[in-house]
Copies of this chain bind each other. A is one copy, B any other.
Amino acid sequence: MLYYIGVDIGGTSIKVGLVTKEGELLDSLSIPTLKEEYTVTISKITKGIDELMARNKVKKISGIGIGVPGVTNPEEGTVIKAPNINWKNVNFAADFKNKYKCKVAMENDANCAAVGEYFFGLKERPDNAIFITLGTGIGSGVIINQQLYRGNGFAAGEAGHMTIIKDGILCNCSRKGCWEKYASATALIQQTKDEIKKSPKSLLAKIAKEENVVNGQTAFKAYRKKDPAGKRVVEQYLDYVAVGLVNLAMLLHPSCFIIGGGISNEGQLLIDMLQERVDKALNQSGFLPLVEIRKANLLNKAGILGAAKLSV
C-alpha cells in the first residue's frame, strides 16, 4: 500500500494526516502553532510526520501535500505570501523532499479543500465544479475538466473578491464591494448585529443575549424559530451568497457548487434556500441548465485529503 501525508497549516494549528491513495484518512494529529518562523513550523510538521509513521508502522511515504493559507507556487514549492501566518517567499518543499525522498506539493488551503471535497466528498464527479467556503472570508477552488484550475501565476480562485456591489463596503483587500464583505460568516455576524440593534426586542436579540455571543449561527437559530428579525437577516444574507454563485454560474456554468466553511454547518436548510435562489435566477434569465448545490462532506478533513491527493 502507498501512503501519503496531507498537511493543513492554519492560523492556530497544523493538522497532519496519514492518507491512502483512495483518500482514506488512517490517522491524524493536530499541533498547536503560533505565528512563528517557518523553520519552527517545518520541524513541528516533521515531528508530526515521523510520529504518524512510527505509530502506524509506515516505513515509506510516497508523497507529502501541504496546504497553506496564502498564495503558493506549486511548481517551485514556494509560499509566495501567507499574511495570516506572516510568511513571504518561503520555500521548504526541498527540505521535505530530501528527508522523505518523495514528491512534495504546496498549495493554497482553499484549493486543497476543493480538491479534497471534489475527489473524496462527492459520490459522482462532474467534469466541472466550484468549491466555495463561507468562513471568515470566502475562499474558492475551481475544478475544470476534473483538475484544479490555477490560472496565471497560480492566482485563480479568489471568488470572494469579485465585486457584487461596485463602490460598496470597503474590503480588507482595499477594494470595495467584494462578495465576501456581504456573504462570508464575518459579514453575516455583522448583519446579525445590525439587525439586533434595529430590533432589540426580537427573539434574535434574545438569543444573542442569552448566549452572550453573536456568531454565524445566531441568525439561523432565530430563523428556525420563525423569528421575523432572524428571517430578515438569513434571507438577505442568502440573497448575497446567491448573487455570487449566480455570477460564477454565468461565467463558468459548472455542474455543481460545493459549499463548505462554518456556515455550511447549517446543513440542508442552507443548501435548499441557496438552491431555490440560484434556480430562480437561472430559470428567470433562461441561462440553463440549473447548477446543483451540494454541501461539503469532509468538514475539516478536506484540506488534509486534498493536500495529500495533490502529492500523488
Q: Is A145 an interface residue (CB 8 A)?
A: yes
- B152-A128 in contact (CB<8A): yes
- B253-A251 in contact (CB<8A): no
Contact of A166 among B142, B158, B240, B250 (CB under 8 A): B240
Residues of chain B within 8 A (CB-CB) of A281 are 175
Chain B nearest CB from A171 CB (Å) reads: 8
Contact of A149 among B144, B152, B164, B289 (CB under 8 A): B144
Which A132-167 residues have a C-beta within 8 angstroms of B? 140, 142, 144-145, 149, 151-153, 155-159, 161-166
- B247-A155 in contact (CB<8A): no
- A251-B142 in contact (CB<8A): yes
Nearest residue in B to A154 (C-beta to C-beta)?
B253
- B165-A250 in contact (CB<8A): no
Bound-state Cα–Cα, A199 to B308, Å: 62
Which A280-298 residues have a C-beta within 8 angstroms of B? 281, 284-289, 291
Residues of chain B within 8 A (CB-CB) of A81 are 286
- A161-B254 in contact (CB<8A): no
Nearest residue in B to A172 (C-beta to C-beta)?
B285
State whether A152 and B289 are in contact (beta carbons under 8 Å apart), knowing that A163-B247, A250-B162 are contacts in the complex.
Answer: yes
Q: Is A246 an interface residue (CB 8 A)?
A: yes
Which A256-292 residues have a C-beta within 8 angstroms of B? 281, 284-289, 291
Which A218-274 residues have a C-beta within 8 angstroms of B? 239-240, 243, 246-248, 250-255
Q: Is A126 an interface residue (CB 8 A)?
A: yes
Report 18 cross-chain contacts, Cβ distance below 8 Å, ordered by A residue. Answer: A126-B152, A128-B151, A144-B144, A144-B145, A152-B255, A152-B291, A153-B288, A156-B251, A158-B251, A159-B251, A161-B287, A163-B246, A164-B165, A166-B182, A173-B284, A173-B285, A248-B251, A251-B251
The chain A residues found within 8 Å of chain B, CB to CB, are 81, 126-128, 140, 142, 144-145, 149, 151-153, 155-159, 161-166, 171, 173-175, 182, 239-240, 243, 246-248, 250-255, 281, 284-289, 291
